[in-house]
Amino acid sequence: MADRPHTPVLDRVHLPADLKGLTDRELRQLADELRAETISAVSVTGGHLGAGLGVVELTVALHAVFNAPRDKIIWDVGHQCYPHKILTGRRDRIRTLRTEGGLSGFTKRSESPYDPFGAAHSSTSISAALGFAMAADLGGDPGDAVAVIGDGSMSAGMAFEAMNNAGHLKKRMFVILNDNEMSIAPPVGALSSYLSRLYAGEPYQDLKSAAKSLASLLPEPFAEGARRAKEMIKGMAVGGTLFEELGFSYVGPIDGHDLEQLLPVLRTAHARATGPTLIHVLTRKGKGYAPAENSPDRGHARAKFDVLTGEQKKAPSNAPSYTKVFAEALIAEAEVDPKIVAITAAMPDGTGLDIFGHRFPKRTFDVGIAEQHAVTFSAGLAAGGMKPFCAIYSTFLQRGYDQVVHDVAIQRLPVRFAIDRAGLVGADGATHAGSFDVAFLANLPGMVVMAAADEAELMHMVATAAAHDDGPIAFRYPRGEGMGVDLPRKGVPLEIGKGRMIREGARVALLSFGTRLAEVLKAAESLAAKGLSPTIADARFAKPLDRELILQLAREHEVLITIEEGAVGGFGSHVAQLLADEGVFDHGLKFRSMVLPDTFIDQASPEAMYRIAGMNAPEIEAKVLEVLGVATVGKRA
């Protein structure tokens, strides 16, 4: 077990109410101890480190000034909430973060009354806070609403939709803009430059009126110190900030690591604000832990690590990740096709487009956290004659669904969707599971939907997408390492709507869509020992279906079972529709579709999540035996 830090003040804090009895000096010490405890905890669990370290002082100050859970502190994304969890009664479980049965890595309503609103996808906090503020106003739950949102998350359209609404409704609510000049990657875009200009030596304009307007909201702290006043006046002095134009009182920027600034500003804002108030706080991601601060992503997410050295304890890899294979396959296609361009919404590293971007900087676009825009921007690129590969995690593509339907599919534009993190992803849990993309894409007219069974298949699907110009096409692949199969030098385009036979057998046909194929093969090995030899096929396409293959499997077998890493409504549902339409059920086929269960599965290892979902080899084997009505030894209860 890693050494626990010495934390005499933190040991006295069990709930935020305990902060009320601490002096400002003790609060400073508390912040130091909270930082040490956060580092120690993440070193044993792995997880989001840098964001939490950057808000340690802010977390202490918010809980010292506001009265949670009556006041609702809403952490945007929630990846910075570990210090908050430690202060809100969850310290005893903090070393279970992101593990099966443990604490979630994000805020979660069912976990604690101190998590008033769940998160994990970005840029929702201001909308939620405004909802709480209005509810309080209308006689619902009383208390203040405080949204804490990062500069990266602030760039998303949803944050501005909420600000626009809040400025109109004029209710008291707080937005803390936690500006650390980082997203996961360095932030991009005009808003980021704007925020930098708010504190980067703009000439002060109209100092007197700025000071006056600030003084009307926050008189006391400014009387106290010229330095603090100057810091805040800088922001005011840029002259009617964007936030003020949207109807917010703007305060800042202030040093988010200096409790001597944070506490008086928050206390005064808490005591006096009457309308929407935005407090602009400058912080450093990874603050106080050199290995994080000094790394290019400021310690955004870490595997378990050695606290002294910062060295991560990663299991050795046996195969390249799907993400890397995708990036390299796309580079190979782009080398010979100058029309190929790539788009990411703030996930260059996660999608592998950082690798593509090194090779083709001018053909790579990081649009910031803006999935909706990413999709329609890609549609525009396609309409303009380019071949866009829009690389988005399955879970984040959910946010761009109307754009997929309205801007891409209806116009039959050849946008290529590279859908990473398909299926269950593990420690990030239900919010990040890629469960729904097949269901929400395969029902769209003209959309081609593929799933790779291994990394070589992924290469072929990249090539297929590059060659496909007749409408939109999507291919999905999971988080993590590939199967370790031999890779071709370059992918070869697949025939659209054609699956492949893997192994011919008898009685039972197992039709896999995606990387469950490996589990199907394992199940088949075990069934072989029981004298059963199922036919195995890889569908490759959920849309268009390989009708010929499916009908042949249905005709020639007693049992047909589909399996996919997705929710109901996806591949299996389309197969069932085909079989029903063709009257195959009339002839007694026993058909089963193995899909993710109708529940949100909490964080665990991906293997454990698939076990819970009943989709590993033993469950596949049990399903076959159950349908055949033979021995069910080993079947899970």
Ligand X SMILES: CC(=O)[C@@H](O)[C@H](O)COP(=O)(O)O
Ligand Y SMILES: Cc1ncc(C[n+]2csc(CCOP(=O)(O)OP(=O)(O)O)c2C)c(N)n1
Catalytic residue selected from 108, 284, 298, 399 = 399
Report the relative pairing of strands 535-538 and 500-503 from DSSP bridges.
antiparallel
* 116 binds, options ligand Y, Mg ion, ligand X, none, Cβ within 5 to 8 A by partner type: none
* 80 binds, options ligand X, ligand Y, Mg ion, none, Cβ within 5 to 8 A by partner type: ligand Y
540 interacts with ligand X by CB under 6 A: no
510 interacts with ligand X by CB under 6 A: no
CA distance 516 to 562: 10
* Pair of tokens at residue 146: 């405080």
Q: Pick the piece of the chain touching ligand Y (CB under 6 A) from 36-44, 128-136, 179-187, 376-384.
A: 179-187
Is omega for the bond preceding 544 within 30 degrees of 0, making it cis?
A: yes
Cα 387 to its chain centre, rounded Å, is 26
CA distance 38 to 86: 8
Residue with tokens 């769209």, as numbered in its chain: 444
What share of residues in the chain are helix, strand, coil (percent, to 5)?
45, 15, 40
Look up 399 and say whether it is catalytic: yes
Look up 371 and say whether it is catalytic: yes
Tell me: is residue 379 an annotated ligand-binding position: no
For ligand Y, which is the closer residue by CB, 157 or 493?
Answer: 157
Q: Are 573 and 439 in contact (CB under 8 A)?
A: yes
Q: Are 411 and 383 in contact (CB under 8 A)?
A: yes
418 interacts with ligand X by CB under 6 A: no
Tell me how many residues contact ligand Y (CB under 6 A).
21
CA distance 593 to 516: 13
150 interacts with Mg ion by CB under 5 A: yes
CA distance 175 to 76: 10
* 428 binds, options Mg ion, ligand Y, ligand X, none, Cβ within 5 to 8 A by partner type: ligand X
233, containing H or E segment? helix 226-237
Report the SS3 class of residue 482: coil
Look up 285 and say whether it is catalytic: yes
**By rule CB under 6 A, what string of x and - marks binding of each residue 278-307 to ligand Y?**
-------x----------------------
Q: Among 33, 71, 151, 619, which residue interacts with ligand Y (rule: CB under 6 A)? A: 151
Q: Among 234, 373, 479, 543, which residue interacts with ligand X (rule: CB under 6 A)? A: 479
Q: For 113, phi and psi rounded to 5 degrees?
A: -65, -15
Catalytic residue selected from 35, 284, 285, 476 = 285
Q: Which residues pair with 416 in a beta bridge?
A: 389, 473
**By rule CB under 5 A, what string of x and - marks binding of each residue 155-184 to Mg ion?**
-------------------------x-x--
51 interacts with ligand Y by CB under 6 A: yes
298 interacts with ligand X by CB under 6 A: no
- Closest CA relative to residue 43, chosen from 92, 95, 86: 95
542 interacts with ligand X by CB under 6 A: no
Q: Among 35, 63, 72, 79, which residue interacts with ligand X (rule: CB under 6 A)? A: 79
* 369 binds, options ligand X, ligand Y, Mg ion, none, Cβ within 5 to 8 A by partner type: ligand Y
Report the SS3 class of residue 538: strand
Catalytic positions, written as ranges: 285, 371, 399
Contacts with ligand Y, residue ranges (CB under 6 A): 51, 54, 77, 79-80, 121-122, 150-153, 180, 182-184, 285, 346, 369, 371, 396, 399
Binding residues for thiamine diphosphate: 79, 120-122, 152-153, 180, 289, 371
